[in-house]
Chain A
Amino acid sequence: MVAFEAVTKRFGGSGGQPGFTALDGIDFSVPRGAITGIIGRSGAGKSTLIRLVNGLERVSSGRVLVDGVEVGGLSETALRDLRRRVGMIFQHFNLLSSRTAFDNVALPLEIAGLDARAIREKVAPLLDLVGLGDKANSYPSELSGGQKQRVGIARALATSPKLLLSDEATSALDPETTHSILELLKRINAELGLTVLLITHEMEVVKTIATDVAVIDRGRIVEAGRTFDIFTMPRHETTRALLSSSLGVKLPEWVRSGLQPQPLAGGRVMVRLIFFGETAFQPLTARLVSEIGPGVNIMAGTIDEIAGEPFGSLVVSYASDPAVLERAARFYAETGLTTEVLGYVA
């Protein structure tokens, strides 16, 4: 649906000055019909990246293709035509304060030149779709944040786009409202077959609705793939850093401060066990204790859901004694558990 080929974007820079490189050699594609998340810290370049798709920003080099059409090669007129086929929602909703919810949704249709009757026929069902059928005559100042974003979504869908761009659409909302907006996006994706490309700095958002994810850091995509794979097996440190604030794999401070990189004589080893797919459904904890021995201590643990699949994480410690370690290794090999040694404690 959308493809980035060796995309670079520089800002400023004149008279031999290099300026600021916001995006540096982005190669990435967004599968049709899926919800794809791009995640990164603020300043990583994700806002610029999403604005290249509908030509709000122009590439410095490389190509951006939307449905096989190169965005950079379009004239102003053709670009406006493309934008009418691509919806966009924003962090601060960007609704017109002087227009009612109905008239805000009508705006893109007015811009496209539809007459009043055709507009009425399109807007009412859209407000119903986003659950605001009774708020048609309310002004944005009379709506809550979540309701404003619903108007924004209805507005983005007004011209029946095949692609929806979401620019931090839930970052200004509280967790509960975020959840309901994400559910709405998921439903729209399923019912209308709409491709969704969203950018966010919240792992929670990606974890909840994105089937595919790309991690962006300092203008480069450092990791991309299926959300579940990236979340359960993060390879890049940026991904790990972003993840640790979201997934319940954080160690209590008193445990982490005591961790040593080398085994200590007569000490214990701290191991993270990761359960997903097959292993998530098996009663492994009980077997773990009986196989390794009664010295197993559970330090922290969670069960979570990523892209609709269960994902568990358990941090345990046991004696770093050769006999115990060997029994543990045998147990892990037998069950297919993924493990990671976090360190050693006295």
Chain B
Amino acid sequence: MSPDMLFNLLWKAMGQTLQMVGIAGILGSLIGLPIGVFLATSGRGELFPAPMANRIIGLVVNAARSTPFIILVVAIIPFTRFVTGTSIGTYAAIVPLTIATIPFFARLVESAIREIDKGLIEAARAMGATPFQIVWKVLLPEARPSLVLGLTMTLVSLIGFSAMVGAVGGGGLGDLGIRYGYQRFMPDVMLTVVVVLIVLVQAVQSAGDVLARRFDKRNRKT
């Protein structure tokens, strides 16, 4: 394959990957964030006590997380078709990616919030804060460094997941690697795809680390 062709293929696949990961990442974390907050604050005696709802949502989240992604992709094809009008292509692939992101990120949000010292919640209550004020002014700002790291981890796994949606014609880098590198036995394509993925993951991780460190005021020294 000529370098030009390879470049074009890579460029297109990269665009699809970024599109899928970007949209699914944004939608999934926007939906996952409130679910994670709810999971972290709805236990018995917590801010929004609803132990029953907490257990049910916890079960659903676990179920979604234990389903292998490739099975999730095919299992929700009717839902995908309902949402996007088709079951194949990049847009169709965004649906299962988003669905997989929600519980993943929700659990990371939950643990980030549970890490916060209970004393801060007590102090905010003693100031007369409402439960919503506590979430908005105490829990989310205090959890921000962990949330950023959680989001980074989510995006990295999304990049991994996106390699599998070739199964429904989603395209992207992983699909390129399978179709050209493996099925047509073109090791140079395979190698290039892997290198590009490594660079992509590395870039996301480094950006997340830098951002998290900037938000983290816990270990500043004068």
| Chain A positions near chain B (C-beta within 8 angstroms) | 54, 56, 80-84, 86, 88, 90, 92, 94, 96-99, 107-108, 110-112, 138-142, 155, 159, 165
Contact = CB atoms under 8 A, between A and B. Distances in A.
A111 B129 contact: yes
A141 B220 contact: yes
A107 B127 contact: yes
Contacts of B219: 141
24 contacts: A54-B126, A83-B125, A86-B126, A88-B126, A90-B119, A92-B117, A92-B119, A94-B117, A96-B120, A96-B141, A98-B142, A99-B141, A107-B137, A108-B128, A110-B137, A111-B137, A139-B217, A139-B220, A141-B219, A141-B221, A142-B220, A142-B221, A142-B222, A155-B127
B138 interface: yes
B128 A84 contact: yes
B184 interface: no
Contacts of B122: 56, 90, 94
Given A94-B119, A96-B141, A98-B215, A83 B126 contact: yes
A98 B144 contact: yes
Interface string B157-175: 0000000000000000000
B59 interface: no
A140 B4 CA distance: 56
Nearest to A76: B130
A111 B117 contact: no
A134 to B, nearest CB: 12
Contacts of A81: 128
Contact of A111 (B120, B128, B141, B217): B128
Contacts of A141: 217-221
B124 interface: yes
A292 to B, nearest CB: 57
A321 to B, nearest CB: 61
A60 B122 CA distance: 20
Name the interface size band of chain B.
Answer: 20 to 34
Interface of B: 117, 119-120, 122-130, 133, 137-138, 141-142, 144, 215, 217-222
A19 B137 CA distance: 35
Interface of B is mostly: helix
A124 B218 CA distance: 23
A107 B220 CA distance: 21
Contacts of A94: 117, 119-120, 122-123
Nearest to B215: A98
A175 to B, nearest CB: 23
Contacts of A138: 222
Given A112-B128, A142-B222, 20 more contacts: A83-B125, A84-B128, A86-B126, A88-B123, A88-B126, A92-B117, A94-B123, A96-B142, A97-B142, A97-B217, A98-B217, A107-B124, A107-B127, A108-B128, A110-B137, A111-B124, A111-B127, A141-B218, A141-B221, A142-B221
B216 to A, nearest CB: 8
A78 B220 CA distance: 39
Nearest to A141: B220
Contacts of A165: 126
A307 B132 CA distance: 43
Contacts of B127: 83-84, 88, 107-108, 111, 155, 159
A165 to B, nearest CB: 8
Nearest to B133: A111
Contacts of B218: 97, 141
A90 B122 CA distance: 10
Contacts of B222: 138, 142
A-B pairs, top 4 by smallest CB distance, nearest first, are: A83-B128, A94-B123, A84-B128, A80-B128
Nearest to B141: A98
A56 B138 contact: no
Contacts of B215: 98
B123 A90 contact: yes
A88 B127 CA distance: 8
Nearest to B127: A108
Contacts of A142: 220-222
A207 B89 CA distance: 77
A287 to B, nearest CB: 55
Nearest to A77: B130
A108 B128 CA distance: 8
A56 B128 contact: no
A99 B144 CA distance: 12
Contacts of B221: 141-142
A248 to B, nearest CB: 35
- Max chain A Cβ within 10 angstroms of own Cβ: one of B119, B133, B217, B221: B217
Contacts of A92: 117, 119
Nearest to A142: B222
Nearest to A139: B217
